[in-house]
Amino acid sequence: MTYNPSRRLFLGGSLAASAAGATGLITPAGLAAAQPMQSPKIMYGPTPGVAKLNANENPYGPSDMALKAIAEASSTGGAYYAYRAGMYLRDMLAESNGLKPENVSITAGSSLILAFAAFAATSKGKILGPDLFWDTTSMAPVRQGGPELVRVPNKADLSIDLDAIYNAIDDDIAMVHICNPNNPTGKLLDPKALREFCIKASKKTLVLVDEAYNELIDDGPKHSMIPLINEGHNIIVARTFSKIYGLAGMRVGYMLGSEENMEFINKYGLGGYSINQAGLAAAIASYNDEAFKDFSRQKVKEGRDIIMDAVKANGLSALPSTTNFVFVNLGDDGDANAFRKAMEAQDVLIRGQYRTYQQWSRVSTGRIEDVKKYAAAVPKALDEMYKAIKA
């Protein structure tokens, strides 16, 4: 009998064997008799009772408007490729940012277009960035044997040192990667300083600004570098629907840049074939849903305040955050990985160590009840962390 693991997975053990029969073929009678394997109870979202605070998601989304659009798109358009909806969203994004459709590229989450940009850049040279930033996509070429990232130390307060990065640009640098607000620190650059940096740095090389968290901060438009694109500077800006819009699982992101830059970056992608009808429908419905965005910002602030109060109550400190996560200093003897394990033992999921920053622990805001669970779990987790350090 031919062994088919996927068939066995769904038909299950002896039933699959009987369904195959003596000929080794799956027969209609056998399929009818076989009982399908039961699906896991939890397929979508965290396990009940577990506080998931490790991924900077907005668990209050999708909004009601997005859910209605998802249902309609899934029932009427799920069988079809999403080209028309993709072009509609592209036109919306272009118009709202004062750009042409050719200046916009949409992919399944901003991670994809950021990775495309990284591969495009490393076909010409190296990527330059701060020592501590969300480097996952810029590391994609490195994992494929491409050039290592060139890193510049952050300042003592862990903010990005724009002057040092500018001074590090040489002929080998094909792209500078800046996250603003930065992840995992949550720190926001001064908009005037960032604008001046982008203008002068873009005369030397391509500048990428990842604005994944822009809509979560106060006065987001003031801090955006998108206007520099229309001014003709060599700038690309990435945005996502995964954060404030609560669509992380729907996978919609985009990048804005000159027609020439987007054409070059898109050579490394698949065009509209990476996006889906439901995600596009949710993004289109959510984009101008100001009431939901205001609600989300309020919940983020409430969660941040709870985290900061817990940090202070336990004799710790944290960086001031402008977004939906907090970077907590566990002290000189702190161990972020040990702290993460101790929190997980109490059903609270947070992030572990970033690079060499052993004493720093990142926690997302999440649902208020989950943030309160984090706050309640901190004292015991700290005790367990210190025990693990001494062991």
How crowded is residue 145: how many other Cβ atoms within 10 Å of its Cβ?
6
Burial (Cβ within 10 Å: 0-12, 13-18, ≥19) of residue 214: buried
Residues 6+ apart with CB under 8 A from 349: 46, 50, 51, 52, 53, 54, 343
pLDDT tens digits, 327-350: 999 999 999 999 999 999 999 999
Please say whether the beta carbons of 21 and 12 come within 8 A: no
pLDDT tens digits, 92-150: 999 999 999 999 999 999 999 999 999 999 999 999 999 999 999 999 999 999 999 99
Domain annotation for the chain: domains and CATH numbers: 1-38 (no CATH), 51-60+291-390 (3.90.1150.10), 64-286 (3.40.640.10)
Q: Over the range 58-82, which residues count as b (16 or more CB within 10 Å of their CB) and which as e?
A: bbbbbbebbeebbeebeeebeeeeb
pLDDT tens digits, 164-214: 999 999 999 999 999 999 999 999 999 999 999 999 999 999 999 999 999
Please say whether the beta carbons of 258 and 229 come within 8 A: yes
pLDDT at 40: 60
Transcribe 295-321 into DSSP letters: HHHHHHHHHHHHHHHHHHHTT-EE---
Residue found under tokens 């028309």: 84
Name residue 98's amino acid.
G
